[in-house]
Amino acid sequence: MLQINNLTVEIDNKKILDNFNIDIKPNTIHVIMGPNGVGKSTLSKVIMGDKNYNILSGKIIFNNEEINLIPTYERARKGIFLCFQNPVEIEGVSNNEMIRTALNSKLDKHVGIYDFIKQIEKSSKEVKLTDEMLKRGVNVGFSGGEKKKNEVLQLKILKPKLIILDEIDSGLDVDSLKVVGENIMQYYNEEDNVSILIITHYPRILNYLKPDYVHVMKGGKLVKTGDITLAYDIEKLGYDRVDIIESIDKNE
Ligand SMILES: Nc1ncnc2c1ncn2[C@@H]1O[C@H](COP(=O)(O)OP(=O)(O)OP(=O)(O)O)[C@@H](O)[C@H]1O
Ligand SMILES: [Mg+2]
């Protein structure tokens, strides 16, 4: 579904991604973990087509088509969706209107207001957001957790194929984490050919979203791949000790 080949990206003459590679097949869940500032959010924004980042070389291929030069809205239409690490507040545009406009644009048709309201009221209940929050400006005055739930609400309505979750778990209390995790997992199980790329620092969201692969990112690329046990090892030992213990294991 998503292949990234030898991608090198810089911002302000600083190289952030350096020969980065990943291959995400349909119906798989990948996790990327890595210390602060290694470029995880940069990766997610580059996949989405953020123009602030300069691609020096390499290819981003989505469903067998190179998308390096395609604008963000086209990538979204093709089914790529990013849940932001820090969702922005947009004063003056209601949440309802923003999601309906996005849906119309994605489907390239006018969705009837009655059908839309029915759909969004059902989905917002599932993620535990109130009707009042749908009428407010996008994320305006939302708590950290409510913003994350709002990202999941958008996802449920827009029905993407590749979901990138950039620290969806940060700032969520245990109950909210459950709501968010279960809603995304339910979507993943119900829809065909959906894949998820989870960026996180902690394995707790993986109690709900069971990954097929866990990768460690360092120096602008993925340096290690394992299964969910790698995520637990990192939590227990930290990045440096995971490396040391692995090298001891290999020498034994
Ligand atoms: N717009 C920008 N201008 C200058 N530097 C930037 C910009 N965006 C990212 N960087 C730098 O790129 C590096 C990678 O940032 P990024 O946000 O991708 O890290 P991250 O792995 O997501 O970290 P965290 O785990 O803290 O979220 C950082 O050193 C950051 O300061
Ligand atoms: Mg980040």
Please check the confidence at residue 243 and state whether its pLDDT lies above 80: no
In the structure encoding, which two tokens stand for residue 22, read together?
């990943």
Where do we find the tokens 């097949």?
25
**Percent residues over pLDDT 90 in the chain:** 87
Q: How confident is the model at residue 137 (pLDDT cuts 50, 70, 90)?
A: very high
Is residue 206 within 8 Å of residue 231, measured between CB atoms?
yes
Looking at the CA of 11, name the nearest ligand. 1
**CB-CB neighbours of 31 under 10 Å:** 26
Q: What is the per-residue pLDDT across 31-57, written as a single tens digit (0 to 9) for each?
A: 999 999 999 999 999 999 999 999 999
DSSP state, residue 73 = H
Strand, helix or coil for residue 87: coil
d(CA 205, CA 21): 24
209 in contact with ligand 1, CB cutoff 6 A? no
Strand-pair category, 54-62 with 65-66? antiparallel
Strand, helix or coil for residue 215: strand
| Length of the chain as a residue count | 252
**Percent residues over pLDDT 70 in the chain:** 96
Instruction: Give the position, in ligand 1's atom list, of the atom nearest the Cα of 52.
Output: 1
Q: How confident is the model at residue 241 (pLDDT cuts 50, 70, 90)?
A: confident
User: What confidence score (pLDDT) does residue 18 get?
Assistant: 96
> Between 245 and 39, where is the model more confident?
39
Looking at the CA of 83, name the nearest ligand. 2
Please check the confidence at residue 130 and state whether its pLDDT lies above 90: yes
Cα of 37 vs centre of ligand 2, distance in Å, is 7
Average pLDDT in the 225-250 region?
82
Average pLDDT in the 212-226 region?
94
Mean pLDDT score across all residues of the chain: 93
Strand, helix or coil for residue 154: helix
16 in contact with ligand 1, CB cutoff 6 A? yes
d(CA 127, CA 182): 9
User: What confidence score (pLDDT) does residue 252 get?
Assistant: 58
Parent domain of 146: 2-251
**What domain count does the chain have?**
1
Please check the confidence at residue 200 and state whether its pLDDT lies above 80: yes
CA 53 vs. chain centroid, Å, equals 18
Helix (H) or strand (E) holding 79: none
Is residue 154 within 8 Å of residue 99, measured between CB atoms?
yes
Q: What is the per-residue pLDDT across 4-35, written as a single tens digit (0 to 9) for each?
A: 999 999 999 999 999 999 999 999 999 999 99
Is residue 149 within 8 Å of residue 132, measured between CB atoms?
no
Is residue 162 within 8 Å of residue 2, measured between CB atoms?
yes
Quote the pTM value.
0.93
Is residue 206 within 8 Å of residue 228, measured between CB atoms?
yes
Q: What is the CATH number of the domain that holds 157?
A: 3.40.50.300
Please check the confidence at residue 171 and state whether its pLDDT lies above 90: no
11 in contact with ligand 1, CB cutoff 6 A? yes
Average pLDDT in the 80-93 region?
92
Is residue 72 within 8 Å of residue 80, measured between CB atoms?
no
d(CA 27, CA 19): 25
